[in-house]
């Protein structure tokens, strides 16, 4: 998720306006978005593990792909 995506969603939810998109608050909002995205990735990976089984090779590969989406 890019910074522009975070700003667009924050504006859409009326958390910020187009006029006040910078500053410490925006950094906190970006960090919050990163934490939410990480939690969602992990939930998706756990769902794949639950469906495929933790030791299934394809399931394992899928969980690694999902978790790697958070790597920069």
Q: In a 3-state reduction of DSSP, which class is residue 44?
A: helix
Which position has the token pair 């667009």?
8
pTM (predicted TM-score) = 0.75
Do residues 6 and 33 touch, judged by C-beta distance below 8 A? yes
The mean pLDDT value for 33-62 works out to 90
Q: How confident is the model at residue 63 (pLDDT cuts 50, 70, 90)?
A: very high
CA 8 to chain CA centroid, nearest Å: 15
Q: How confident is the model at residue 22 (pLDDT cuts 50, 70, 90)?
A: low
């Amino acid at each position: 998720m890019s910074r522009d995506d975070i700003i667009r969603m924050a504006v859409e939810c009326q958390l910020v306006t187009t006029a006040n998109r910078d500053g410490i608050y925006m950094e906190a909002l970006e960090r919050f978005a990163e934490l939410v995205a990480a939690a969602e990735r992990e939930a998706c990976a756990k769902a794949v593990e639950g469906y495929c089984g933790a030791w299934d090779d394809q399931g394992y590969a899928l969980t690694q792909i999902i978790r790697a989406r958070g790597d920069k």
